[in-house]
Amino acid sequence: MAEAAEDKKPEEAVPEVPLEPIVKKKKIDGDHAGAHGGAWKIALADMMTAMMAFFLLMWLLGATTEDQRKSIADYFKPTSHSLANMSTLTGPGGIMGGQSILDPDGMPNTGQRTSMFERDTPRSEGGKSTDSGTSKDEKNDKNPNELSEEERQKIAAENDKKNFDKLEQEVKEKLLQNKQLDKIKDQVKFIREKEGLRIEVIDKADFSMFGSGTARMQGRAETLIKEVAKSVMGMPNKVAVRGHTDSIAYDDGVRSNWSLSGDRAESTRRIMQEAGIPESRFAKIEGVADTAPFIPNNPADPRNRRISITVLFQDAAKGG
């Protein structure tokens, strides 16, 4: 029994093996993660800004004239004069030099009206551009006394053309807006000629501006002449009025076609003067009878009876 007890050995302790930590892995799709980045937003914003600037540039090129684009380019051009002014925008004056930015004369590119037609130009006050050559804008910005005769005539002609376009459009709109004049709008013709813009008010078979053998103007025709006078009133140009008759001879012992056409031109002048055009604006009042027919192939056509109101070119009026 003792030997059996000795043979029995105590059980050896089993060493504890540490457990490995449990690691959970998550697979992330790389393509899906890229959509949540912020780099593409910056690229898109840059592209949209560039596109907006491009379309703004295209709009400016289409909505401005050549002269206006030249003025805009001159405004942003870093000339030596503007850079010199920029260096003196601030400062107390005296030894340090400079001008206050609050001083309107201290700004380098102040727009001012210097031309004979009051155009805004981005030029520094009292300074001259250092660019070589003379642009069209610079010619227009000269003092009127410094312009050559050719330059003055060219500028005046351009101004007249713009005024004639505006006058024609304004009269046409008045004819459409006035129900009384809408019926006779086809009897008003606008003709450009070497003397200026001629406005023809023409008779037709069922309408006459004057009573037969008289120089008294009818109601609708008088309203039309007054509307034309109101449109012409704001222009500096002189006006010529001419009366016409058809070839049907008229002679009552007092009037002939010649005197009748002249009296009708004078009657038209009086109506225009009453509407606001001063007497000094009229350059010529004449009657030419049937010597200048509107329908040359048919001198007796009623449309040859008409009144011609010519708004003269400014230089043509001076020469006449």
- How far apart are the C-alpha atoms of 144 and 147, rounded to whole Å? 5
Nearest to 215 by CA among 288, 264, 287, 255: 264
* Whole-number CA gyration radius for the chain: 43
Q: Which residues contact 69 (CB under 8 A, 6 or more apart)?
A: 60, 61
List, for residues 226-275, the tens digit of each pLDDT value. 999 999 998 889 999 999 999 888 877 778 999 999 999 999 999 999 99
List, for residues 74-106, the tens digit of each pLDDT value. 777 765 544 445 444 444 454 445 554 445 454
Q: Confidence band (pLDDT; 50, 70, 90) for 64? A: confident
What are 316's two structure tokens?
A: 């043509």
- Pairing verdict, β 239-244 and 282-287: parallel
List, for residues 278-298, the tens digit of each pLDDT value. 999 999 999 999 999 999 999
Choose the weakest-confidence range: 17-21, 170-174, 308-312: 17-21
- Residue 196 dihedral angles phi and psi, to the nearest 5°: 155, -145
**Cα distances (Å, whole numbers) of residue 53 to 57, 59, 66, 243, 319:** 6, 10, 20, 59, 51
Q: Which residue has the higher pLDDT, 300 or 316?
A: 300
Q: Confidence band (pLDDT; 50, 70, 90) for 6? A: low
pTM of the model: 0.53
- How far apart are the C-alpha atoms of 201 and 308, rounded to whole Å? 6
Domains belonging to the chain, first-starting first, are 113-147 (no CATH), 163-319 (3.30.1330.60)
Nearest to 236 by CA among 170, 281, 190: 281
User: Crossing angle of helices 66-76/39-63, nearest 10°?
Assistant: 130
Q: Confidence band (pLDDT; 50, 70, 90) for 205? A: confident
Evaluate whether 285 touches 310 at the Cβ level (below 8 Å): no
pLDDT on residue 11: 57
Rounded average pLDDT over 111-135: 44
